[in-house]
Structure 1
Amino acid sequence: MNIAYWIVAGLLAVFYFYAGTLKVIRTRGQLRPMMAWVDRIPLPALRTLGTVEILGATGLILPPLTGIAPSLAPASAIGFLLLQTGAVAVHLTGEDRRIALNVGLIATAALTIWLATGL
């Protein structure tokens, strides 16, 4: 199960690290083609969301890798599950109804939680 955790958590961490970095460094105009909802939230909230995603990705990898506070890994995955639940709500209340990626990320985060509790 350890190998499965590293594969699933690694993929999830890479996705969130990339997405978070984009939200932190790019302008609204650069983000708009891939994230139609960026105009609906304030820019500081968007930057904060990106920072939270980067920190969560770090929380999936570093604690189990170092053995320091490994309980942070499932906490990070729970955070991503909650984040994506909120993202589905944002998509459904706006004009962007594409939630397939969000549902896939919810399932991946749930799997990561289950695998992390077995570490």
Structure 2
Amino acid sequence: MGATTRTYESGSGRTETILLWTVQGLLAALFLFAGGMKLAVPSDQLQAGAPIHFSSAFIHFIGTCEVLGALGLVLPRATRVLPELTPIAAAGLVVIMIGAVSTTLAGGMGVVAAILPFVVGVLAALVAWRRWEQ
């Protein structure tokens, strides 16, 4: 009789995995939506509500980065193809959120308006950090 060896994650490891996947899924949905809007909505409409004027090309560049970052948060680990791309994608989204916080503050929208992009950036940093260690 051959013995089969199974490895199970410890309780805290499993909890962390579930938490990370949840955060990654929520961030991916958020960035897919935000990036998709930047790519789909006419630039003049996007710039109407922006605190600072950016060129259409730059807005499309950010939208593309957000969509690719969203895909990078989920697909590499889900497919087990180049899973080391997940923390890199998360780190790239942190850079985008630093820009979002800076733009919000420089545009005079106030600290309260900068809280959401700050929190999203912190969550992306958490994913980058924890996935980098795995």
TM-score class, shorter-chain normalisation, is: 0.7 to 0.9
Partner of 2:115: 100
- Compute the displacement of 1:117 (Å): 2.8
2:56 paired with 1:43: yes
Match of 1:17 among 22, 28, 32: 32
1:58 aligns with one of 66, 71, 78: 71
Q: Does 1:116 align with 2:131?
A: yes
Q: Offset at 1:95?
A: 2.5
More deviation in 109-118 or 57-66?
109-118
Aligned equivalents of 2:101 and 2:90: distance in 1? 17
Question: For residues 57-104 of structure 1, what are the alpha-carbon distances to aligned partners after superposition, in whole Å with 9 as ceiling and x for unaligned?
Answer: 000111001111111000011111111111211122223222011111
Structure 2 match to 1:28: 43
Aligned with 1:117: secondary structure?
A: helix
Q: Equivalent residue of 1:68, what SS?
A: coil
Q: Percent identity?
A: 33
Structure with more contact order per residue of length (Cα contacts < 8 Å, sep ≥ 6): 1
Partners of 2:106 and 2:122 in 1: CA distance: 21
Q: Which structure's CA Rg is the greater one?
A: 2
- For structure 1, which segment, 69-78 or 89-98, has the greater mean C-alpha deviation from structure 2 after superposition? 89-98
Match of 1:73 in 2: 86
List alignment gaps of at least 5 residues for structure 1: none
Report if aligned partners of 1:4, 1:115 keep a CA contact under 8 Å in 2: no
Instruction: Give the TM-score normalised by structure 1.
Output: 0.88
- The SS at the match of 2:82 is coil
TM-score normalised to structure 2 length: 0.79
Question: Gaps spanning 5+ residues in structure 2: where?
Answer: 1-15
Higher mean displacement: 39-48 or 24-33? 24-33
SS at structure 1 position matched to 2:120: helix
For the Cα contact (< 8 Å) 2:98–2:121, is it kept in 1?
Answer: yes
The two structures, once aligned, show a CA RMSD in angstroms of 1.7
